[in-house]
Amino acid sequence: MIGVTITRYFAMRFMRTILAIFFTIFCLTFVVVFVEMLRRASDNPAAGAGVVALMTAMKVPAAAEMILPFAVLFGSMATFVDLTRKLELIVARAAGMSVWQFIMPAALTALVIGLVSVTIYNPLSAEMKLRSDQMEFELFGRPGSVRVDHGVWLRQHGVDGAAVLHAMQAVNAGTTLAGVSVNVYAPSGAFVERIEADKAHLEPGVWVLEEAMVSAPGEPARRVGSYLLATDMTPEQAAAAATPAQGTPFWDLPGVAERTAEAGLDATEYRLQFQTLLARPLLLIAMVLVSASFSLRFFRFGGVAKTLSGGVVAGFVLYIVTKVLSDLGGAGMISPLVAAWSPALVGSMLGTLTLLYSEDG
């Protein structure tokens, strides 16, 4: 009974600290994005402070999701140090608890946070960001400067030949594009013309490009009010191709990956994102083990800053390795399964090995 009480007490301490750090970073991100959105909305009378605040509140959760591993790392380190400084861990050791018994509450807390973030938080944040992007598109008509976006690429075929479309932003499940440029090719593969348009809408069997500028080899550029580009693309295929992997809800990733592959596009990013989210709970547990490796010593003779700095560096190295492997997996150089799971597995094993050496060895 005493063990259950202590475990619950430690788990609540870890939960409060991790959520406090995450909420603090969340608020700082909100302020930065809100100020930038206000600057962009200064020339738009329809975008008042309330509308901008609403868009920001729906946009920030997706951005804050990226800092969750650091919140777990810093929260775990802060809790371990505080418990040691107040001699609570010393008393727990004296009562016969091993290091694994008071690491277990932190690991269970990280596991719960990881599962909730993947199954509930991620789908909600993705949906809110989608609605925020729709509002931003309607207000400004172009991508925001605070939105990290490398554009949308679509390859299609029609009765007139093939075409490659690039858009700066896609909304309405990929059926409405902004900042569009199109290269049109004849059935033989020869380049025919280039079209640039402010917006494009997908209609049955055709893309409707508004305010288009058409340029063909050997001819002067001409502006047309509307340009019709034949296509065999369906709304489902457009949605699959235009939806970024990071903006796709967890539960939709397998289906989107399948539809993307059926559309003839590379679905590696969606498979990688799905495996990355599956591996997140283990990655958070690895952050706990890394923080415990640097935070459980009794700082009676100083050296707190040096030791904790080592923990922070180790956590950042683990995160950087995760990003590097993710880029390699997205480029198809390694398997998405290996890219997503290896950092969490290696981090967990190294943290466990360090604790075995320092505590039991």
Confidence of residue 222 (pLDDT cuts 50, 70, 90): confident
Helix, strand, or coil (residue 62)? helix
- What's the pLDDT band for 307 if we cut at 50, 70, 90? low
pLDDT, mean of residues 148-154: 60
Q: Is the pLDDT of residue 185 over 90?
A: no
- Are 197 and 213 a contacting pair, CB within 8 Å? yes
- Whether residue 116 has pLDDT greater than 90: yes
Average pLDDT over residues 179-189: 84
Contact 320, 327 (CB under 8 A): no
Q: Which residue has the higher pLDDT, 255 or 94?
A: 255
User: Looking at the predicted structure, is the pLDDT value of residue 63 above 70?
Assistant: yes
Q: Are 269 and 330 in contact (CB under 8 A)?
A: yes
124: pLDDT strictly greater than 60 = yes
For residue 141, what pLDDT is reported?
A: 57
b/e per residue, 106-134, with b = 16+ CB within 10 A? bbbbbeebbeebbeebbeebbbbbbebbe
pLDDT for residue 39 is more than 90: no
Higher per-residue pLDDT: 304 or 73: 73
pLDDT of residue 274: 92
Residue with tokens 């709970």: 281
Of the two residues 313 and 22, the one the predictor is more confident about is 22
Q: How confident is the model at residue 145 (pLDDT cuts 50, 70, 90)?
A: very low
Q: Which of 245, 242, 263 is nearest to 339 (CA)?
A: 245
CA distances from 313 to 11, 96, 223 (A): 25, 32, 56
Choice among 7-21, 197-211, 213-227, 261-275 with the minimum mean pLDDT:
261-275
What is the model's pTM? Answer: 0.77
Q: At residue 83, does pLDDT exceed 70?
A: yes
Residue 174 φ/ψ, nearest 5 degrees: 85, 0
Mean pLDDT for all residues in the chain: 81
What band does 37 get if pLDDT is binned at 50, 70 and 90? confident
Query: What is the per-residue pLDDT for 148?
Result: 37
Share of the chain above pLDDT 70, in %: 87
